[in-house]
Chains A and B, each alone.
Chain A
Amino acid sequence: MKFIALIVIVLGIIAVAQLMRVYELTSKLRNRREEEIELRDNKMNANLMLLFMFIFFGSFLWMVARYGAGGIPVAASVEGVGYDWLMGLNLIIILLVFFLTNGLLFWFAYKYYKKPGVKAYWYPHNNKLELLWTVVPSIVLAVIIILGLKNWNERQGASGEDAIRVELYSKQFDWTVRYAGEDNVLGKFDYKLINGNNPLGLATRNTIDARVQEMDSLIKAAEDRINNPDNIFSVESMEKMRGDLASKERIYLRLKQLQNLHNDSLDVYAYDDIVKPSNTKLVLCKGREYEFSFRAEDIIHSAFFPHFRAQINTVPGMVTRMKFTPSMTTEEMRKELNDDDFQYILMCNKICGASHSNMKLFVEVLDEAQYNEWWTQEIAENTFKK
């Protein structure tokens, strides 16, 4: 089969080459020159310009009819509804410009092809016209800028006093949720405190002391391994071990500093935090404003909630934030879409390695009664320090 395909391709190439040769010889016979474009070629291309315009616009409209907005459901947050309105308005503006200018372009390209005896119109400039198409776009853009910035400032502004605080923690290739507990304040954290028992590195007197001790014993063990005369290492691995040790010592020093500066009175904020195992779905309450904060453990990820029209990157070494208010429960959206399996989603939207496209977290929006029931149980069972 492959062999036949290969033969067909080779024969095809030979056929094209022969056709070219024939074309070349006939051109020579007819004394045709490549730079002299014949009337019928000009006319053909002009007609194709018009034909292309119809196909282009037609297939665009067909795609709008068939795919709409690519199958994304209506916005499920208050902010998302505002977003969709603004997007709709801007799309109308740019589509008008798109059809007008592309339409004129292809129309002129069709109409004004070179005809014998017709000379082009000498028209080097017209200041009034140029002023017109400087001023009109400026006015339209001013409207776009004003509406856009108004929306942007609202979305980026501080959230209300009673907004529910939630932290989302990202690493290759999953998400971890931390709810702020009854006091609605997220406890302090430090990346140096992260270990198996404390996956998000919450900072309390206990976690700090435990981690200092752990680091101390890790350093001792490393020193013993290096200094034990019975162990024989290659030069490279010795160098690597010494490097690791030095790095551990630097982290240890900073941990000690953390220990000295730690304010115990802040620990209560962390005690009632609820840290779910990674990949456990995020549960939200319809109609409540949320203040999310984001952290990243290893590299940059992006927290993208397409259904709530919300996105922010998560960056190692800094905390980023966003806010939104869910306006439809998962149940309501399922009814709307007539799809019982539909789920809200949080996707990673910044390239982060092999499993980037699988880094997701399900999101469930409950109504207030369901949410309160779920919340009471969580508070009772899953706080950081029961």
Chain B
Amino acid sequence: MAVGAHEAHGHHEENFVSKYIFSHDHKMISKQFLLTAVFMGVVAMLLSILFRIQLGWPEESSDFLHAFLGDRWAPDGILDRNMYLGLVTMHGTIMVFFLLTGGLSGTFSNLLIPYQIGARDMASGFMNMLSYWLFFLSSAIMIISLFIETGPAMAGWTVYPPLSALPQAVPGSGLGMTLWLTSMAIFIASSLIGSLNYIVTVLNLRTKGMHMTRMPLTIWAFFVTAVLGLLSFPVLFSAALLLIMDRTMGTSFYLSDIIVGGEMLDNTGGSPLLYQHLFWFLGHPEVYIVLLPALGLSSEIISTNSRKPIFGYRAMIGSILAIGFLSFIVWGHHMFVTGMNPFLGSVFVFTTLLIAIPSAVKVFNYLTTLWRGSIVYTPAMLFAVGMVSTFITGGVTGIILADSALDIAVHDTYFVVAHFHVVMGMSAVFGMFAGVYHWFPKMYGKMMNTRLGYVHFWTTLISGYGVFFPMHFVGIAGAPRRYYDYSVYETFDANQFEIIFELNQIISVFAILGGFAQLIFLYNFFYSIYRGPKAVQNPWKSNTLEWTTPVEHIHGNWPGALPEVHRWPYDYSKPGAEEDFIPQIVPLAEGEEEH
């Protein structure tokens, strides 16, 4: 049946537009997502370097700032105070949503779901195309908002009203905020269409023998991620819609008893906390929407390159499901000091700390997978090991922040910034890098340069920890985030001012180094697309189905019939086997137990 459909497809004439632009093919769409994400990631990183220059060397004139921001936002090379807030807001928004949500899921769910479950393509190629182009449109609007006269959104990436609702409070809450909300609404539509497609594909298009309990952990992670997105993004959509109404139609969902810029507003009865509940109802699952794909990719890469089965496959699936479920009932831990009822806070302490259990299980299972392995250090494997290290480092500080009693004095300080950057800025990004290095041969049919990959990994690991580790010290000292500078400390504690100043400089130096390190990746990535050596069919000696497809992409993925699956994907170094890997398509030998 599926074969028949494929043959019918084969007669389509492909022209440039249908092949490269409005493509329905999951492999092309995956590449489109990746390239857009790389571009967005570079922009967001550049924004962070601009504000790190301000934080490291406040009050010093910088040609670099002036070159990028001009007289409007950096007169005499000194960063404008409002633009500082704009930079942090846009950095956060782009990184979280465009690189790590759209980019990460968009690239790898698209590439790997059909490949690894043995499908010809996504359930709906048209919806898949629509998902990408909505993502592209929302990216374009978000980028455009950087260039308007009143500046981009300046209310932080969480855009809490009333700040985000009142242009009188900050200039970015004018047109900048309108564009932000428009972009996010489109982004959410893209994400929903994508998620729906991933879920349907995983449930319906698995090839013969690919039971749910034989799926690679990547697919499990993408599947749960898609479910999380499908259930939580609509809530953010509602939140954004109500905010748009408050801004344009005079409603009072989030506004009450406000005097701003000398003007008394007649809004009454709204609650700013309502927005926060709606935002974090997405916002916390969102953290796992970012993280689960990274964990899934790393599971696959660690197992393949340790030449060992992933330890506790079923426990890993259980952990993914548990994390997915719990992520919906923990959002209140972002709101311990917002004025939310303290009793409700206690409930969220309990649920939040529960989520540490499946996370701990995952970490120990990774460790046991490495134990007595036969580790091959491909660049992907290095990044996967780095992913586990940062997942640990960022995870343990989460225990402090989940504990409402302890959150009080570190809430909204650099301790929080350190925590979520180690988890998202390092762990999730490392997972994404690992994925790119590992599946580059599948995407482009070429090999990336291994040695440049090594240099990229080690410089990125060192500069990443160099940036985010000192932030814990700044944060435990109580230094608030989103401060233009820390000169206020000079007025009450000169000693602490010195310490924070020095740490900020160290952080900024590492941030700039980290920026340069990514140039190595960009060079390697683009150079290899054009001039990299040609890849072989199964370069990493891996078991999963994608490596049974031809190197040159073909429509429908497999030239003949779809492959049939006979075993789980982790038969590495199985006793009795000659090779140290047995692909999933190899039937069980006589008397062989599955695992």
Contacts and interface: CB of A to CB of B under 8 A. Distances in A.
Interface of A: 2, 16, 20, 23-24, 27, 33-35, 37, 41-42, 45-46, 48-49, 52, 56, 59-60, 63, 67, 69-73, 80, 83, 86-87, 90-91, 93-95, 97-98, 101-102, 104-106, 108-109, 112-115, 118-126, 129-130, 133-134, 137-138, 141, 144-145, 148-149, 151-153, 155-156, 171-172, 191-192, 194, 247, 250-251, 254, 297-300, 302, 304, 306, 309-313, 315-318, 320, 337, 339, 341-345, 347-358, 360, 362
Interface in B77-125: 81-82, 85
Given A60-B469, A121-B372, A125-B312, A343 B492 contact: yes
A141 B375 contact: no
Interface in B492-513: 492-496, 498-500, 503
Given A34-B447, A114-B376, A315-B273, A122 B309 contact: yes
Contact of A130 (B169, B361, B373, B533): B361
A133 B572 CA distance: 24
B392 interface: yes
B85 A351 contact: yes
A70 B272 contact: no
B405 A125 contact: no
B409 A71 contact: no
Contacts of A46: 375, 377
A97 B356 CA distance: 12
A105 B385 contact: yes
Given A83-B409, A123-B308, A316-B255, A356 B374 contact: no
Contacts of B155: 351
A33 B406 contact: no
22 contacts: A34-B449, A41-B454, A42-B377, A69-B476, A71-B500, A72-B496, A109-B375, A121-B371, A121-B573, A122-B308, A123-B368, A138-B357, A141-B357, A151-B405, A172-B260, A251-B264, A320-B339, A341-B494, A344-B492, A345-B493, A349-B413, A357-B484
The number of chain B residues touching the other chain, given as a range, is 35 or more
Contacts of B382: 45
B324 to A, nearest CB: 17
Contact of B258 (A45, A90, A114, A298): A298
Given A94-B396, A313-B339, A299 B163 contact: yes
Contacts of A155: 405, 408
A132 to B, nearest CB: 9
A138 B355 CA distance: 10
A152 B349 contact: yes
Given A83-B405, A320-B339, A70 B496 contact: yes
A246 to B, nearest CB: 9
B375 A70 contact: no
A92 B338 CA distance: 28
A315 B257 CA distance: 10
A229 to B, nearest CB: 28
Nearest to B527: A20
Contacts of A122: 308-309, 573-575
B525 interface: no
B405 A350 contact: no
Contacts of B209: none
Nearest to B532: A34
A376 B338 CA distance: 35
Contacts of B375: 42, 46, 109, 112-114
Interface of B: 63, 81-82, 85, 154-156, 160, 162-163, 166, 169-170, 255-261, 264-266, 268-273, 306-315, 337-339, 342, 345-346, 349-350, 353-354, 356-357, 360-361, 363-368, 370-378, 382, 385, 388-389, 392-393, 396-397, 399-400, 403-406, 408-409, 411-413, 441, 447-452, 454, 458, 461-462, 465, 469-470, 473-480, 482-488, 491-496, 498-500, 503, 523, 527, 531-533, 535-536, 539-540, 570, 572-575, 580, 595
B169 A299 contact: yes
A199 to B, nearest CB: 10
A299 B162 contact: yes
A178 B335 CA distance: 26
Given A120-B374, A316-B162, A318-B271, A70 B474 contact: yes
B372 A71 contact: no
Among A102, A342, A353, the one with the most B-chain Cβ atoms within 10 Å of its Cβ is A353
A56 B491 CA distance: 34
Contacts of A133: 360-361, 364
A352 B503 CA distance: 25
Given A141-B356, A318-B339, A360-B488, A105 B494 contact: no
A123 B309 contact: yes
A138 B540 CA distance: 37
A95 B397 CA distance: 9
Contacts of B270: 317
Contacts of B256: 316-318
A172 B377 contact: no
A123 B409 contact: no
A63 B473 contact: yes
Given A105-B385, A121-B308, A309-B408, A298 B474 contact: no
B367 A108 contact: yes
Contacts of A254: 266, 268
Contacts of A67: 473, 499, 503
A306 B374 CA distance: 50
B400 to A, nearest CB: 6
A306 B482 CA distance: 16
B483 A357 contact: yes
B441 A149 contact: no
Nearest to A104: B367
Contact of A152 (B345, B360, B532): B345
Contacts of B572: 120
* CB-CB nearest 4 A-B residue pairs: A70-B477, A317-B256, A306-B478, A35-B539
A138 to B, nearest CB: 6
Contacts of A145: 349-350, 353, 403
Contact of B475 (A70, A120, A124): A70
Contacts of A63: 469-470, 473
A120 B374 CA distance: 5
Given A70-B476, A97-B396, A357-B486, A33 B308 contact: no
Contact of B488 (A90, A101, A357): A357
A138 B322 CA distance: 14
B478 A304 contact: yes
Contact of A144 (B307, B399, B485): B399
A86 B405 contact: yes
Contacts of A83: 405-406, 408-409
A351 B259 contact: no
Contacts of B163: 299-300, 351-353
A356 B342 contact: no
A258 B539 CA distance: 77
A105 B388 contact: yes
Contact of A120 (B454, B474, B486, B573): B573
B595 A124 contact: yes
Nearest to A190: B257
Given A70-B503, A310-B409, A130 B478 contact: no
Contact of A312 (B339, B366, B475, B492): B339
